A = this chain, B = another copy of it.
């Protein structure tokens, strides 16, 4: 299924590009109407395009200028109509408070092909939690 894996990789590139320039319309067009989104921030899940879109707008608003998204350790598994992918992302940019920040997150996505077109039906983004402090854990080195 190499061609379907290429299609998923291309979709992931479009997703990263849309995030980079904070184009919420281009980004949300990649998601299915019944998307279920587990994000780094509360609540437990966002359901549907309206909730996902509002959450993207919130995220974009935290940055002053573009958001750089670097992808590492990408794995794509694609069948005929169902696919998933997982990767590490380094999100970098200038925050509204002027500070330049970089954060590593883990990202998992589920896809379905509907009417010949792949759409993201599930996304899960998180950072680990230090069990001693219950605080977000950041890896020692990018």
A interface residues, Cβ below 8 angstroms from B: 1, 36, 38-45, 73, 75, 77-84, 86, 88, 104, 106, 108, 110, 112, 121-122, 124, 126-131, 133-137, 139
Q: Does the CB pair A83–B82 fall under 8 Å?
A: yes
User: Which chain B residues lie closer than 8 Å to A133 at the CB level?
Assistant: 135
Q: Does the CB pair A77–B130 fall under 8 Å?
A: no
Closest B residue by C-beta to A112: B77
Closest B residue by C-beta to A126: B126
Q: Does the CB pair A108–B106 fall under 8 Å?
A: no
Q: Chain A interface mostly helix, strand, loop or mixed? A: strand
Q: Does the CB pair B131–A134 fall under 8 Å?
A: no
Known contacts: A108-B124, A129-B41. The answer to whether A84 contacts B81 by CB under 8 A is no
Q: Does the CB pair A40–B104 fall under 8 Å?
A: no
